[in-house]
Amino acid sequence: MVRVLTVGELLVEIMRPETNCPLSRPGTFKGPFPSGAPGIFIDAVAKLGVSAGIIGSVGNDAFGQCIVDRLVLDGVDTRFIARSPTKTTGMAFVTYNDDGTRDFLFHLKESAAVDIVKPAAFDFVKETEILHVSGTSLSLNDDIRRLCYELVRSVKSRGGRVTFDPNIRPELAGDEQLLSWYGPVLSATDILLPSGDELLWLSKCGTPEEAAKKLHHQGISIIVRKMGEQGCELYLDGAKRLASPGFRVACVDPTGAGDCFAAGVVYGVLQSWSWERTLAFANGLGGLSTTVLGPMEGTPALQIVLDFIQ
C-alpha cells in the first residue's frame, strides 16, 4: 500500500562547497547527493513515517545506485524505479551565490531520468490517497506527461487527491509551453503549492489575491503560497485566510526546501490537522531541510520537526 505517490525525475546533485564560484571556473565539488524534486518530496514524506512510493528512472550505474540506496534507506517504495540500460543517471551541477541565487547545469533530458517506464498495471494506485506532481516532471517529455495525466485521472477516479507544485524552471521551457503542459494537472488539482510569484505567473494576475480568486473560479479551492524564510500564505475558496511565519535557521543549502515544505503539507492533510498546525509543521520541515548540504541530507524525522516547531 502506498498512501502518497509521485512520479518524475531522479538525479544527483554535484555542487560547489563555496559560494560565488562560477561553474565555468575549475574548482572543487561535493557530491553526489540524491536529488530531483519528486525524489526530495517523497523521501521527506517517507521519513515522516508515511508509506510512500515513486515512479522514476535511473541509470544502471553508481549514481543510480546512490539514489536508490538512499530512498530505500529512508523507507520509500522503489519498485517502480526503472534502470535504463542505455542512459546514465541524471545530473545537476550547482553553484551558490551570496545573494541567494543559484546557477544550475543540467544533464537531464538525455539522461535516464526521462526513461520512466509506465508500470504494467495501475492496481497499485487504488490505495493512493495523495498524488503529488511537480511541474519539472511535466517538462521532461511527452511520454512522462501522458503518464502524469493518466495517474491524475486514476487517483482522482478512486477518490484520491492531487497536490501540484508548479516548480517553474524557465530554463526547461517557455511560458506558453509550460502553461499548456500544466493545464490537465491544474484542472484536477486539490491543493496548489506555488512559490513566490508562481501564483501570479499561473494566473496572469497582478496580485496574489486576484490570482487566488481567478484560480478558485477555475476549480482550485486550496492554495498554499510558499514564501521561503517569510513562511507561507493560505488561500481558501479564493480568499486569503491565514499567514504562517517561517522559522529562523542557519541556511546552508536551500535546494529542496519547497519540496520538503510540500511534504509537510501532505503530512498535515493526512493527519487531518488544522491548517494552523499543518502550515507551521510544513514551515518547520522546510526550514530544517536547509541546514545541511545536500537536498535530502537535512530532511528530518517526524519527532525532530515536532520538537523544533515547539
* Of the candidates 287, 233, 280, 293, the residue with the CA atom closest to the CA atom of residue 260: 287
Number of residues in the chain: 310
Please report the pLDDT score of residue 171 as a whole number.
56
CA 209, CA 240: separation in Å to the nearest integer?
Answer: 7
2 φ/ψ angles, rounded to the nearest 5 degrees: -120, 110
Please report the pLDDT score of residue 214 as a whole number.
93
CA 40, CA 255: separation in Å to the nearest integer?
Answer: 9
In this predicted model, what pLDDT tens digit does every residue of 32-86 receive, in sequence order?
Answer: 999 999 999 999 999 999 999 999 999 999 999 999 999 999 999 999 999 999 9
Q: Which residues of the chain have a pLDDT value below 70? A: 169-176
Please report the pLDDT score of residue 186 as a whole number.
92
Please report the pLDDT score of residue 168 as a whole number.
73
Please report the pLDDT score of residue 291 as a whole number.
93
Say what the pTM is: 0.94
CA 52, CA 1: separation in Å to the nearest integer?
Answer: 8
The neighbouring-strand residues paired with 28 are none
- Residue 130 in contact with residue 102, Cβ under 8 Å? no
CB atoms near residue 188 (< 10 Å):
19
Please report the pLDDT score of residue 170 as a whole number.
58
Separation of CA 191 from chain center: 13
Grid cell, residue 127, equals: 490505495
Specify the amino acid at residue 26.
P
Please report the pLDDT score of residue 169 as a whole number.
67
- Domains in the chain (CATH in brackets) are 4-309 (3.40.1190.20)
Q: How far is CA 32 from CA 172, 174, 310, in A?
A: 22, 29, 34
